[in-house]
Amino acid sequence: MIIIGTRGSALALWQANYTKDVLEKKGHAVEVKIIETKGDTSQQWNTSFDKLEGKGFFTKELEEALLNKTIDVAVHSHKDLPTESPDGLIIAGVSSRENPADWLIMREECEDDTRKFSLKKGAKVGTSSPRRKSQILAFRPDVEIADLRGNVPTRIQKLKDGQYDAILLAAAGLERLELDLSDFHVEQLDPEEFIPAPAQGVLAWQIREDDYKLTDVFDGICDYDVMININIERRILNLLDGGCQLPLGAYCDVELNDQDRKLFKVWVSCADAWDKQPKQLYYETTNTEDLPEKIVEHLHRISAKNIFISRDTHENNSLNRWLTNLGFTVESKSLIDLKKLTIKELPKSDWLFFSSKHAVEFFFMQKPDIGTTKIGCIGKSTSQAIRELGLRADFIGQSTDTKLVGKQFSARVGLGKVVFPIPRDSMRTIQWQFPKQQNVIDLPIYATLKVPHEVAETTDLLVFTSPSNAESYLEKNKIHPHQKIIAMGEATKKSLLKAKVKETQITTPTSFDDLGLFRAILSTL
């Protein structure tokens, strides 16, 4: 008989019974035993996780029961485990990964599609996780944070009772419990943007180190691909000496690259405290040797620098705010001027495609009647600009490779016709991916005029948002060997290379939005 120890919450019991079912299918006799933990008995405390002392808040009693041989296996939500097991215990295996994302669950009257995460201005958001507090405030500094305790059904009930406008919870737990959330608006937060806790969505099976029989049992059901990924995430946590109290998100995913080799992609968000600006990094590699160590070393090396960004922004712009909160000096100034071109007649089409926020702005300021025309765009920033008009994009290209986006969009459109609102001097990279050019209609809606400006030679990093901005910069400035460059998109990079800028100085971000640029800046510096 294998005795499984678990906490008594509905979610913990689901995890234990899931494990029981898996083991029974392998022919084992299994019993589930409930163990009360400090985390369960303190649910009524008005205390957030960042104020709790010690690690293993939800696991200590289960581990003691294992060592005392009261139980044979402890089933944990892996994200709740300390990074180091007590002497005599090991993690014998891990489950497949369920949805790793966080969900923002809000009362329907608090939904606002024009704002980030569809949440109204000034909303009261419930969470006791320092990680979630840190990241939601980075994106939405206007919201009010309130501590939230209790098991999952209790937290949902508190939202229903109106104690909060919205709450943040792990998607995996909610999906496992199959709770009815039909009364709420649920926004799934992209784990590459809103970074989850290390090992979120994964179960850990903990046993005694000398229980060799169970070692073999769990070896047969362990998901070793998931184990590799979460070991990277948890090693980062270990190196930073963190637990539930550390505002750390770490997420590792794997895909095959062009050479059919495993490409490990790691996203990290880490702050000194929940109310401090988190540092955000993205790292990709085919070699995982010392990968967590390299990431943590880079986090420690980041220091404030002088940055020039070739666009006009206000001081509350997300990117400017994130950088200045970390001590960076930022000069934001567009080196081009945009002149509106009047739309005489909007051609009939099946789709509209926008490649920038400027295109959205200049097109819709002329109040065109688009009827039921579908909308496509590239990048989260352009998508957000469309949302702020009360509209939704039917296609969003996420890659910085505009040729790839063009091919994907062309496949989606099929034989339909597309109007492209564009600058007069557009390079038409996306349009050229359409096999039938007669289905492509260019609609010039603004012209680009260069406005050169002198930038201090002491600037450490130059960010060019377009080819025309890069060309305008070079009319009055030189690029010096000590300066690093971020080029928004391959077209901007090509423009710089044409001007004899060294390729080793240039980096391109993984996405066109503010977050992608922020990560590129921190990775470069």
Boundaries of every domain in the chain: 2-97+202-228, 102-189, 248-300, 306-335+451-524, 337-449
Per-residue pLDDT tens digits for 342-354: 999 999 999 999 9
Enzyme catalytic residues: 80
Is it the case that residue 420 has pLDDT exceeding 90? yes
Is it the case that residue 388 has pLDDT exceeding 60? yes
Q: Which stretch of 108-122, 190-204, 243-257 has the lowest confidence by average pLDDT? A: 243-257
Q: Is 483 helix (H, G, I), strand (E, B) or coil?
A: coil
HSE value, Cβ hemisphere, 13 Å, CA-based, for 337: 6
Is it the case that residue 489 has pLDDT exceeding 70? yes
pLDDT at 51: 47
Within 8 A by CB and 6+ apart from 63, the residues are: 56, 74, 85, 86, 89, 206
Residues 111-123, mean pLDDT to the nearest whole number: 94
Mean pLDDT, all residues of the chain: 92
Per-residue pLDDT tens digits for 157-205: 999 999 999 999 999 999 999 999 999 999 999 999 999 999 999 999 9
With both helix axes pointing from N to C terminus, report the angle between 490-498 and 467-476 in degrees, rounded to the nearest 10.
30
Q: What does the radius of gyration of the chain's CA atoms come to, in whole angstroms?
A: 26
pLDDT at 47: 47
pLDDT at 242: 64
Sheet holding 262-270, edge to edge: 248-256, 262-270, 279-285
Percent of the chain with pLDDT over 70: 95
pLDDT at 474: 96
Superfamily of domain 102-189: Periplasmic binding protein-like II (3.40.190.10)
Task: State how far the alpha carbon of 361 is from the alpha carbons of 98, 366, 388, 466, 511, in Å.
Answer: 39, 9, 11, 17, 20
Q: Which residue carries 């034989």 as its tokens?
A: 415
Which of the following CATH numbers is that of domain 306-335+451-524: 1.10.3720.10, 3.30.70.20, 3.90.1150.10, 3.40.50.10090?
A: 3.40.50.10090
Asked whether this chain's domains 102-189 and 337-449 adopt the same fold, the reply is: no
pLDDT at 43: 46
Per-residue pLDDT tens digits for 31-85: 999 998 665 554 444 444 444 444 455 678 899 999 999 999 999 999 988 888 8
Within 8 A by CB and 6+ apart from 344, the residues are: none
Minimal CA–CA distance to 149: which of 141, 157, 160?
Answer: 157
* Spatial distance between the Cα atoms of 15 and 95, rounded to a whole number of angstroms: 10
Which of the following CATH numbers is that of domain 2-97+202-228: 3.40.190.10, 3.90.180.10, 3.30.310.80, 3.40.50.300?
A: 3.40.190.10
- CATH-assigned architecture of domain 337-449: 3-Layer(aba) Sandwich (3.40)
